[in-house]
Amino acid sequence: MNISSKVVNFLKVTVLVSSLLYFGYFIFKNFEQFKNFSNFNIQTIAILLSLKFINIYLLSNLNIFILKNIGINLKNTESIKLTVRNTLGNLSSPLKLGSGYKLSYLKEKYDIKINEYLFITTFYSIFNLIPIFLIFLIYSFLGNQKTILNNLIIMFLIFFGLVFTTFSIQKLPYFKKINTGLSKKLISKNNLIIQINNILFFLSSSIIVYLIVINLSNIDSFYSSISYNFLGSFVNIVNLTPGNIGIKEGLIISFNNIHKIGFDLVIITSFVERFLSLIALFVTQIIVRNN
């Protein structure tokens, strides 16, 4: 391991440890706010967990149809199992360790070419942000959000930057040599299904945040939840700490002028959201294993 790698690993560990320590300190100093958990009734918890299960199903569908682009046909149960282990690994370990498990599984069972897999996953991690960005912009226009309207030029530059990046990736000489399944197929039934699942996942995740926030505070704004998830989607491209603890919250808190959710509520919402994810993932894991 060279010096640069040691420095990078040190920084990652530092971010993780600092984030966990801050979470502990925050809970200790704001324990009174956690009493608001009593606002959650059985019906709300059931709805939240149901939405988390739906999210797992949508992620599994995304997995199936994205991999179809490179000739891999996963069965539904197989994809759900991979999705659960992949997500659990990414939530509990740094550097997308869950994705590493997924790649090793596909390599062993389907003899997947690593360069094709890395291309297709990188491409869609960026490309799938485009419809989410459009939803965010449209909702901002409809809601007449002054913060967004005042920064409209920056927003459109980001949008066109995403479009340019995704389409430019396909034109790189290196990727022309590999089978990505995307040439002349970007507008297809397969990719339409991918985007439907992508949008449904984003909306269901936004509803989850909305239900958590309105039960923990007096904020009743679906736009805040849309913004929260929109910002979080950018962080999920790269996983530096388990579940991007600290990094995701830091980005969302930095853009408080957009979503109007206080930093304390962001941290509590993040805590509840992750906890619900773990419950849904473990339950799904048990169900898949027993079947």
Alpha-carbon torsion (230, 129, 53, 243), positive or negative: negative
pLDDT of residue 15: 52
Q: Which two tokens stand for residue 25?
A: 């300190």
Other beta carbons within 10 angstroms of residue 86's beta carbon come to: 23
Q: End-to-end distance of the chain based on CA atoms, in angstroms? A: 43
How many residues appear in the chain? 291
pLDDT of residue 242: 46
**Alpha helices, DSSP H, located in the chain:** 3-29, 42-68, 76-92, 97-110, 114-127, 129-143, 146-150, 152-171, 173-176, 189-216, 222-235, 247-254, 256-259, 263-290
Give the Cα separation of 95 and 240 in Å (integer).
Answer: 5
Long-range contacts from 219-225, C-beta under 8 angstroms, 24+ separation = 219/260, 219/261, 219/265, 221/260, 223/139, 223/140, 223/143, 223/145, 223/259, 224/259, 224/260, 224/261, 225/259
Nearest Cα to 26, choosing from 253, 226, 223? 253
pLDDT of residue 244: 46
Long-range contacts from 106-110, C-beta under 8 angstroms, 24+ separation = 106/67, 106/72, 110/72
DSSP structural state of residue 269:
H
Q: What residues in the chain have per-residue pLDDT under 50?
A: 1, 240-244, 246
List, for residues 149-187, the tens digit of each pLDDT value: 666 666 667 767 766 766 666 566 555 555 555 655 667
Q: How far is CA 92 from CA 86, 98, 118, in A?
A: 10, 9, 22
pLDDT of residue 106: 86
Q: Where does residue 1 rank: exposed (0-12), middle (13-18), buried (19+ CB within 10 A)? A: exposed
Cβ–Cβ < 8 Å for 205, 221 = no
List, for residues 189-206, the tens digit of each pLDDT value: 888 999 999 999 999 999
pLDDT of residue 152: 63
Nearest Cα to 78, choosing from 40, 105, 55, 111? 105
